[in-house]
Amino acid sequence: MSTQYATDFIKKTAIRLGFDFCGIAKAGYLDEDARRLEAWLNKGMHGSMQYMGNHFDLRVDPVKLVPGAKSVITFLFNYFPKEKQAHPTPKISKYAWGKDYHTVIKNKLHELMEEIRRNIGEVNGRGFVDSAPVLERSWAQKAGLGWIGKNGNLINKQQGSFLFIATLIIDLELSYDSPSVKDYCGTCTKCIDECPTEAILPNKVIDGSKCISYFTIELKDALIDEKMQGKFDNWLFGCDACQDVCPWNRFSKPTREEGFNPLNEILHFNEKDWEELTEEKFKLIFKDSPLKRSSFNGIKRNLNFIKNSASE
């Protein structure tokens, strides 16, 4: 079977399974990314996210993750909703409005891997969806799927940045796409200007320890630093401030994936509804939701924090 045939088969199958974009890069050591990640970690910009410093060698070398790896296939999956949250209401990042993306996309990666083995032959590989030490944005850029914006997000020229990134690392040689070399952000600084906590620094550096998403999702402390009081702009879980103002997101289209259809509660819960939510109801309503990552206690902590900020 020819390399081009295998490449075309994988890309066509990925689109049939619901992925919006597919690009392929040659597996290899990410030398520049390794230096950048090391500098970022040394400055403590990962906050309490100690896992970011774990398995450093795996993050920058796909062969360490998949022995004999030859290709890194990157997929983009649109999650932009056609609905909007009621106003005013505690805000939730759009990626978390529907089912947990890990589950939805992992199932599609498994299906794709089965199709590859059935139609191409014995291929070894592993699929990843934001759950292993893989530098997804770097591989997406190498696969020609977009560029890294000033807010640190991958931006795709056709659909903006409301896109999940998934990767499949396999030991099969394929035809490789040209990497994205042009940065279309230009002189625009809207994302930097809009960030409520000034977490977006020059040269595409993000201080993760200042990001609202870090405080509302990753931070497990019982209390949030008082220095952040009044800066959360009513964000209860995650933050889309930098994406909402990005001019490239005017090209965003509503997702076709039913699994990402918003929960009614996320669209319509007001502050009182969140306050009266019991742990039992939380577990029932959000059993398949990314909100589980913050836990019931974390959501209540976040709610109290933004409520106290508003009253001051």
Note the pLDDT tens digit of each residue in 37-75: 666 667 777 676 666 566 667 777 898 889 999 999 999
List of residues 6+ apart from 273 with CB closer than 8 A: 265
The Cα–Cα gap between 230 and 151 comes to 21
Q: Buried b / exposed e across 45-64, counting CB within 10 Å, b at 16+?
A: bbbeeeebeeeeeebbbbee
pLDDT recorded at residue 11: 98
Q: State the pairing for strand pair 147-148/235-237.
A: unpaired
The Cα–Cα gap between 224 and 306 comes to 10
pLDDT recorded at residue 115: 97
pLDDT recorded at residue 69: 96
Asked if 146 contacts 140 with a C-beta cutoff of 8 angstroms, the reply is yes
For the chain, which ranges sit under pLDDT 70? Answer: 34-35, 37-41, 46, 48-56, 131-133, 310-312
Q: List residues with catalytic annotation.
A: 130
pTM of the model: 0.92
Amino acid at 240: D
pLDDT recorded at residue 48: 66
* Farthest CA pair distance, the chain: 67
